[in-house]
Amino acid sequence: MSVDGAATGHAMRSLRLLLEAYAGCELPQWDLFASNVRVVRVEPGTVLFSVGEHHPYIYFVQRGLFKAQMPCEGDRLTTVFFPEEGDVLASMSALGSEGVRRVASRGLHPRSESLRAAVAAETVHTVTAIEHSLLLRASYRVIEHLSTQYLQWARLTMTIALMHATTLQADAAWLRSTPEQRYRSLLREHPGLVQRVTQRDLASFLNITDVALSRIVKRVRGDALPTITTQDVGVAPVVLHGSALA
């Protein structure tokens, strides 16, 4: 992984359009924010950040694909999502939001016990590059500082958090489907992703074995095959006792 200097003008213009779309307005002190943005280039297999790490950065994925994994059943990692182009990527628990830490540490939330990573400001995911990827990285501390000074930046952080919550709700509904229904949904709504990841990573994402996924893929492909009739191949029907058997 290499961290270059300041981002190019084109990259920063694209990022500004994105963030101001989230904020719904122009963002003041943009030059201060931009001076802290760095370009990050990663090779396939590179770990961007790991479980238990303090990592108060936000990434904006310009190009490439990653897999985010969580520990499951001991040391085994299971894939929970695939950050890709256009995603805002960060470990929410590692950002160290003071409000979250305060509420969780005082036991004021019914699930405070499960929020221990947020109290310790540690990431709960390991994020690894699947493809050659390019990101823009910003320190959350800079965004947090600007949010205390300007309503526009506070609106930006709120909208990003709401987007994160909205996608989590959509994922929760999606997870109530069977693995085959989820696979078919991916093919309909996100066919490009299915082509970009390995079968093992896809099986992990669907929480099934490689063998089970192979069976699902075979069934889905079988459903997609066209039904061939005699009219399609130009063969005359055979007539038996006045009935046509095609």
Identify residue 18 by its one-letter amino acid code: L
- C-alpha angle with apex 134: 85 to 148, nearest 5 degrees? 80
Using CA atoms, how far apart are residues 16 and 32, in angstroms rounded to an integer?
13
Asked whether residue 219 carries a pLDDT value surpassing 70, the answer given is yes
CA dihedral 19, 126, 5, 143 (to 10 degrees): 40
Tokens 């709504």 locate to 189
How confident is the model over 3-18, as a mean pLDDT? 85
pTM for the full model? 0.85
Average model confidence (pLDDT) across the chain: 88
pLDDT category of residue 76 using cuts at 50, 70 and 90: confident
How confident is the model over 225-238, as a mean pLDDT? 45
Closest CA to 40 of 18, 56, 20, 64: 64
Residues 6+ apart with CB under 8 A from 34: 6, 7, 12, 16
pLDDT category of residue 234 using cuts at 50, 70 and 90: very low
Q: Which two tokens stand for residue 87?
A: 């995603």
Least-confidence region, from 94-98, 227-231, 237-241: 237-241
Asked whether residue 239 carries a pLDDT value surpassing 50, the answer given is no
How confident is the model over 27-33, as a mean pLDDT? 96
Q: Which two tokens stand for residue 53?
A: 């790490």
- Tens of pLDDT, residue by residue over 119-134, are 899 999 999 999 999 9
- Under the phi-then-psi rule, with left for phi > 0, alpha for psi from -120 to 50, and beta for the rest, what region is 229? beta
- Tens of pLDDT, residue by residue over 167-190, are 999 998 988 999 999 999 999 999
Structural contact between residues 159 and 23, judged by C-beta atoms closer than 8 angstroms:
yes
